[in-house]
Structure 1
Amino acid sequence: MNTEKKPGKFQVIFRFLKGSFYLFVLSLVFSVLFTACNALTPQIIRYAVDHILTGVGDSYGRHLLFLAAGAVLVAAILSGIFNYFSKMTLAKGSENFMKNIRDTLFHHIEKLPFAWHVRHQTGEIIQRCTSDVEVIRNFVCNQMPDVFRIVFLMVLYLGIMFSMNVKLSLVAAAFIPVIVGYSGFFYSKIGDRFMKADEAEGALSSTVQENLTGVRVVRAFGREKFEIDRFDERNERFAGLWIKLGGIMSAYWATGDFITGIQILTVLVTGTVLVVHQELTLGEFLAFVSYNSSLTWPIRSLGRILSDMSKAGVSVERVAYILDAEEEKEEGKALQPPLDGDICFEHVTFAYDEEHPILEDMSFTIPAGSTFGILGSTGSGKSTLMHLLNRLYDLPPGNGRITIGGVDIRDIKREYLRAHIGMVLQEPFLFSRSIGENISITEETPHEERIHHAAEIACVDEAIEHFTDGYNTIVGERGVTLSGGQKQRVAIARTLMMKAPILVFDDSLSAVDAETDAKIRHALKAEMEKATVLLISHRINSLKQADLILVMDKGKICELGTHEELISQEGIYKDIYEIQMNSDIRVMEGGKKA
């Protein structure tokens, strides 16, 4: 059992302050100096009222008055300078802090296992990396410095106020615990509500992301109204949660306004009485009111910051959830052997969950340099074999092993293994870049001739040349501007650029016609004659030229042999062959009659 203690919220925050902590310290120093300069002005006014205004009629009094005015001006200038440097250093520290968070999150997410990504919605991950990160930035870079500044201001101003009049200071200070305590109580009650609101925002983001990426499907099946209703439902829940939060916040601020108003009124009345009884001078009273007014808003802000801590705490937990996810680890020997040997599956059993095994005791060998076909119904485990071969999932101990050239793939470095296995999926992903960039994405310094050659082998060169911008044509998000067949062929060209010793085609020619399918297979055989090719398909025509064909059903091996061997015996392969051949004949006859 893992007993390792997870880092606390502040430990997570300080992790990202590396390299910019000194900037936050400098900002606080300048903020302290700024506050100190502001504290001088009421004292100058106090002195002017009590000692200068009585003698303003003579030249000496006027001279002192001008000196007092100059002192106020100097204090204001110094205050402005210190405030400028405080804001500048805070801005630099804030941006460095944000850069560290973004870099760390993206780097970590890139290293997380494939299984983790399967379990989590893209919109939810994006929401944690944007909205939640912004909440953390606002708290760390604005609210935390404000806490230190407010605490210093309270200590300094209250110290000055007590030095002027203890009785009035006690009256003013008596309300501070009430405001802070009230805010603390509010903070303790609102955290769960913020969590629910954030989760609702994540669900809303996921809905938008799904609809934007699946716009073709929505339009093709006329699901616009259904998706709009679905969005409205989630949006209404999200809005409702924030409306409730808004009501609670309104009550909080209204109550705070009432308490603050009572405090100011009490100080004014008490101070007036003290002035009348000559226990307080007029200058002291004016200075005291100034200090009290300067304290009122920061104390209320302290309450607001404490209430926002609940939101920041929730966001830290949501970001920490991603950071706590365990990255893929190299638990084997991290070898980098040649991958041009036989591929052997030895008694492989695998399940995504313990109750439903996908593969059961699979044992077969793929000879090096051969073309190996795999046929099976949907859900039979074909793609799972490729996920295991590419180590998107690792075989648990005792569930068999997969070797390449006699080396267990768990002992081969993941990055090296994946760089030497070219995979083309049935639904390839294309980036929102040019076609040429998508094809050459695996190359640091792509050559135009190689790009064109790969496109020619994939039989997509003619289609590309018909585009106005040719290879510079920008592909829409997820390749939406290309047809299904064009996307698959661009993905094949991209894989060919790798010059990988092992090529996997996971039903990746399903969207092209039979003639183009044959041309691509012929060109591939000529170009990659030394490569080991794994061809997953539902088409017998695509598989029949393979050196060996594996037939799967419900995670088990049903048949294994050449095309000729398999059609000569009763079984699944022969049944599918006859169905497809008869279907092709009917199509051809229909074409002749037409």
Structure 2
Amino acid sequence: MKNIRLLWRLMKGNRILYFASMISMGLATLFAIVSPLVIRVTIDSIIGNQPLEVPLWIARWIDSIGGKEYLYDNLWIPALLLVAITVANGVFLYTKGKWSAIAAEDIAKKMKEELYDHIQHQPYSWHGKVDTGDLIQRCTSDVETIRRFLAVQFVEISRVIFMLVFSLSIMLVLDVKMTLISMAVVPLLLIFSWVFYNKVRKSFQLADESEARLSTVLQENLAGVRIVRAFGRQAFEQDKFKERNKEFRDLVYHLVVLLAWYWSLSDILSLLQMGAVLVVGSYLAGTGVITLGTLVVFTTYEGMLLWPIRQLGRILADMGKTMVSLGRVKEILDQPREDMNGQGLTPTIKGKIQFNNVSFSYDKESPILKNISFTIEKGKTIAVIGPTGSGKSSLVHLLQGLYDYDGGSITIDGIELRDMNKQHLRKNIGIVLQEPFLYSKTLGENIGLAKRRVKPAEIYEAANVASIHEVIESFEHGYDTPVGERGVTLSGGQKQRIAIARTIIQKAPILIFDDSLSAIDTETDAAIRKSLREKSEKVTTIIISHRITTIAEADYIMALDQGQLVQWGTHEELMKQEGLYRRIWNIQNQLEQDLDRELQEGRV
């Protein structure tokens, strides 16, 4: 029922079109039902000697043009009437198809837009748990399944209903015994269709989920193609794809077998039914119980009736697929959106940051940060150092509101982080991630991405600060150089600097470098930090790095270990203390000295 409510909501704005489409289907069915009656009257009453069994207004019209004798001499009139009825039937079938297709396309468009919008507003933590391939499957293949059902099969349900009501009403009037014979197999077909619907629904869900897993394998392989090539994993990835592909093929094959059983058995039942009507009807017509025209009506109606009833199985099968697809779409739409507003505060952010006994964990069980407290004054540069898994990235993710902290308080300029509008917050906190993502756009477009109506001069200035301007100018097309997907045409350091320039152009009062200087050589690293100090004197900067020379120049350094703040102070202060910072400094210095000695001795 929940899936049906979702479908009804999605149909908003197109319900009138569907209603009109169903009316058209009803009229088309009515004209199709009338056609055999015209043939019956022609055979029995115009060519034959049976009295006219037509509505009074038609009988008066026939009398006004000369009666049955006139029609007998002008058989082109009933023939022309049949042509007109067929044309009317075709016109209403066309309008039915057109209106239902327009409505279905509009619903599919709105559904894709709603899904995309909903995904865009999901919390950062949600995106870390879902498979990209599965999301793509739900937004494309599942939406297409729903669109096909709404465009074709949804209105066909009304055809079955209209056909049953119209034909059964006329058949009962003509002959009750023949009607019972004609309808003998219909209940069996309906029960058979319902059983088939339940089996197909389960099978389609398995096949759809398998296709999602196949899409995930494909997406991961394409996204990580360089890793696959670098480690020679082509054969392994191919075997993994073959395994998923075989699983998908077997499940689809099971669906095909179900369809084959349904169509073959329903064909046998339908042919037996039509044979029974023809044999019994011929006997009754031969003995004078019914007329030849009545036999024609029953055999024609039988063909017209059995086909949509058999088709009901396919309609129910497609409906089963659609219900599964709606359920998969609903799983996304039911996910609660990220609360972006908080208390709706949008203060002017200057850059003073304060953590007060902040604790955080991803699963509410294993703590990542434990009672972290510190204060960063406006315009200061803070360096964060610590071993892998100590909580460095989690710290800055909390500051951007990507995750919610479990306990304590985070304030910016004295205002609680939870009370701020998150969109406003993120516009004022620029972050360069450890793994920069570049879009398939030009270099200039990638740099100017974070700001609307950006001027070329602003792009050049940001590129200069990031020490990438001269590199870009050396390219044949300069800032109009297209970047391959995910920036594959650039080196790691060049991608980092493009990402840094993209963040700098925001001119945010708080800048975060999440180990984003690691792919840049020491000289360029120093040049970028120097430019940042000159251009952004009033900007609060947080730098996460494992490079001790980068860390040492910060105003203050915090050392994290196992989620706890174990040291805080300037480089000079921390070097006087026994602890994590001095150990890292000594290790890196020793490594550099060993490397210099080996270089001098010519061993490297």
Correspondence for 2:536: 528
Please say if residues 97 and 151 of structure 2, whose CA atoms lie closer than 8 Å, have aligned partners that are also in contact.
Answer: no
| 1:306 aligned residue | 316
Counterparts of 2:252 and 2:29, CA distance in 1: 36
Question: Which of 532-541 and 303-312 deviates more?
Answer: 303-312
Cα deviation, 1:512-550, whole Å, max 9, x if unaligned, reads: 111111111111111111110000000011111100000
Question: Where does 1:282-431 land on structure 2 (aligned, <5 Å)?
Answer: 282-330=292-340, 332-396=342-406, 399-431=407-439
**Mapped pair 1:242 → 2:236:** no
Counterpart among 452, 457, 461 of residue 460 in structure 2: 452
Contact kept in structure 1, 2:384 and 2:560, CA below 8 Å: yes
How far apart are 1:322 and its partner, in Å? 0.5
- Whole-angstrom distance in 1 between the partners of 2:421 and 2:101: 42
The runs of 5 or more residues in structure 2 that have no matched partner are 50-67
Task: Indicate the SS of the match to 1:400.
Answer: strand
Q: How many residue pairs end up in the alignment?
A: 584
Give the Cα–Cα distance (whole angstroms) in 2 for the partners of residues 482 and 26 of structure 1: 56
Tell me the residue number matched to 1:555.
563
1:34 correspondence with 2:28:
yes
Residue equivalent to 2:60: none
Once the two structures are superposed, residues 292-317 of structure 1 have per-residue CA deviations (whole angstroms, 9 ceiling, x without a partner) of 11112100111221223222111111
The aligned counterpart of 1:22 is 16
Partners of 1:539 and 1:274 in 2: how far apart? 99
Q: Does 2:119 correspond to 1:109?
A: yes
C-alpha deviation, 1:586, in angstroms: 3.3
Counterpart-to-counterpart distance in 2, 1:560 and 1:44:
97
Instruction: Report whether the alignment pairs 1:503 with 2:511.
Output: yes
* Superposed displacement of residue 462, structure 1: 2.1
Q: How does 1:136-215 map to 2 (within 5 A)?
A: 136-215=146-225
Q: Which residue of 1 aligns with 2:451?
A: 443
Aligned twin of 1:223: 233
Partner of 2:548: 540
Q: Give the 3 Å change call, closer, same or farther, for CA 349–583 of structure 1 in structure 2.
A: same
1:281 equivalenced with 2:291 (yes/no): yes
The AA in structure 2 aligned to 1:65 is L
Amino acid at match of 2:40: R
Note if 1:576 corresponds to 2:584.
yes
Output the amino acid matched with 2:346.
Q
Alpha-carbon contact 1:127-1:202 (below 8 Å) kept: yes
Query: Secondary structure, in 3 states, of the residue corresponding to 1:337?
Result: coil
> Is the partner of 2:449 in helix, strand or coil?
coil
Q: Distance in 2 between matches of 1:482 and 1:59?
A: 90
Residue 487 of structure 1, CA deviation: 1.0
- 2: distance between equivalents of 1:194 and 1:153? 29
Q: Equivalent residue of 1:348, what SS?
A: strand
Counterpart pick for 1:565 among 555, 561, 573: 573
Distance 1:177 1:360 in 2: 68
Q: How big is the shift at 1:51?
A: 2.7
Q: CA RMSD in A?
A: 1.6
Per-residue deviation, 1:498: 0.7
1:465/1:471 contact within 8 Å kept: yes
The letter of the residue matching 2:325 is: S
Cα distance in 1 between the residues matched to 2:542 and 2:487: 25
Separation of aligned partners in 1, 2:471 and 2:218: 32
Q: 404-413 vs 239-248, which deviates more?
A: 239-248
Look up the SS of the partner of 1:570 in the other structure.
coil
In structure 2, give the amino acid aligned to 1:53.
Answer: I
Contact 1:213 1:477 in 2 (8 A): no
Corresponding residue of 1:256: 266
Residue 118 of structure 1: how far off its partner (Å): 0.8
1:132 to 142, 148, 151: 142
Query: In structure 2, what is the equivalent of residue 51 of structure 1?
Result: 45
TM-score by length of 2: 0.94
Q: Is the 8 A contact 1:343 1:402 kept in 2?
A: yes
Alpha-carbon spacing, 1:62–1:593, altered in 2? closer, same or farther (3 Å)? farther
Q: Residue in 1 aligned with 2:63?
A: none
| Identical counterparts, % of pairs | 44
Partner secondary structure for residue 369 of structure 1: coil
Match in the other structure for 2:64: none
- Per the alignment, residue 4 of structure 1 pairs with none
Deviation at 1:584, TM superposition (A): 2.4
Aligned to 2:490: 482
Separation in 2 of the partners of 1:329 and 1:456?
Answer: 37
Unaligned runs of 5+ in 1: 1-6
Matched residue of 1:293: which SS? helix
State whether residues 52 and 64 of structure 1, in contact with CA within 8 Å, keep that contact through their aligned partners in structure 2: no
After TM superposition, give the deviation of residue 332 of structure 1 in Å: 3.4
Alpha-carbon distance, 1:61 to partner: 4.7
Task: Tell me if the contact between 2:26 and 2:158 (Cα under 8 Å) persists in the aligned partners.
Answer: no
How far 1:356 sits from its partner (Å)?
0.9
> How far does the alpha carbon of each residue in 1:359-406 deviate from its partner, in whole angstroms, 9 at most, with x for none?
11111111110000000111110000011101111123xx10111111
Q: Within 2, Cα distance between the matches of 1:471 and 1:593?
A: 44
**How far apart in 1 are the matches of 2:288 and 2:471?**
96
1:230-289 superposed Cα distances (whole Å, 9 cap, x missing partner): 111111111111112222222122211111111111111111111111111112211221
Checking the alignment, whether the CA contact within 8 Å between 2:351 and 2:510 is kept in structure 1 is no
Q: Secondary structure of 1:534's partner?
A: strand
Partner of 1:178, secondary structure, is helix
Are the aligned partners of 1:559 and 1:566 in contact in 2 as well (CA < 8 Å)? yes
- Aligned residue for 1:440, secondary structure, equals helix
For residue 450 of structure 2, give the secondary structure of its aligned residue in structure 1. Answer: coil
| In structure 1, distance between residues paired with 2:489 and 2:18 | 48
Q: 1:3 maps to which residue?
A: none
Q: State the 1:590 CA deviation.
A: 4.0
TM-score, normalised with respect to structure 1: 0.95
| Cα distance in 1 between the residues matched to 2:586 and 2:457 | 43
| Other structure's SS at 1:193 match | helix
Q: Which amino acid letter does the alignment assign opposite residue 534 of structure 2?
A: A
Aligned-partner Cα distance in 1 for 2:600–2:532: 32
Cα distance between partner residues in 2 of 1:583 and 1:86: 78
Distance of 1:73 and 1:469 partners within structure 2: 67
